Structure 1
């Protein structure tokens, strides 16, 4: 029994490139011109406000929209930026009034700080959680840990 010679997968038909018509990378540099170094970006020909492939921060989008809304209008600016209007309007609405969870987090954080200070700053999240449960506050141990981290306790 004979085995096929070792290779890198299925054989290709002669004369056909492996990429099947897809073009990868930028065009080579012109004669006498230096190309872009490895790991460096090539901004020529790109007119984008945000990096491609990343989702823009809603706060950044909102600031930009606020600056340009007088001249161009909100919907036009959002269309040019490629941001859904529901994303922008939802973010603006959330900034106007804190959510129920944010209000609860503030109240629980104040109570956590009181317990932590009363303990001489020695109690960690498990013990603080235990005391909160005794006081009748329904909260998870992980939430207590998160709030303590955010408050720097």
Structure 2
């Protein structure tokens, strides 16, 4: 299971020296998943980039951000979906993750959707507190449905 996450899902790229892969993944999230939305504009106005909240989310696969039952759902989907190819991505490939992080991107987008109203009414301090604090997920099924909607929305672009 860990080999699948590390090699086939490309997690080793997130941990490369200098976190180049992580920065690339967060840039992909911002440009292809958040761009143009009102939350993206608000976070931009406040000077909050995806590295402020996404680093913790992506490097821990949401371990320190959402309850364990929700984490298990995200991890299950992350291990099962994505590029059907069984060959691992090249660690030196600079063209992106080829959809390998889409489940993480969709989950991040779903979490941001859930915090949308709070974020739109927040100043910098409150927005950072919301984005970096524990997110109490009461309904894992709803989180996964919203993540699926985000994933489908992105697939249509």
Work out whether the TM-score is over 0.5.
Answer: no
* Bigger RCO (CA 8 Å, 6+ sep): 2
* TM-score category (smaller protein): under 0.3
Query: Which is greater in Rg?
Result: 1
What TM-score does the superposition give when structure 2 sets the normalisation length?
0.22
What TM-score does the superposition give when structure 1 sets the normalisation length?
0.23
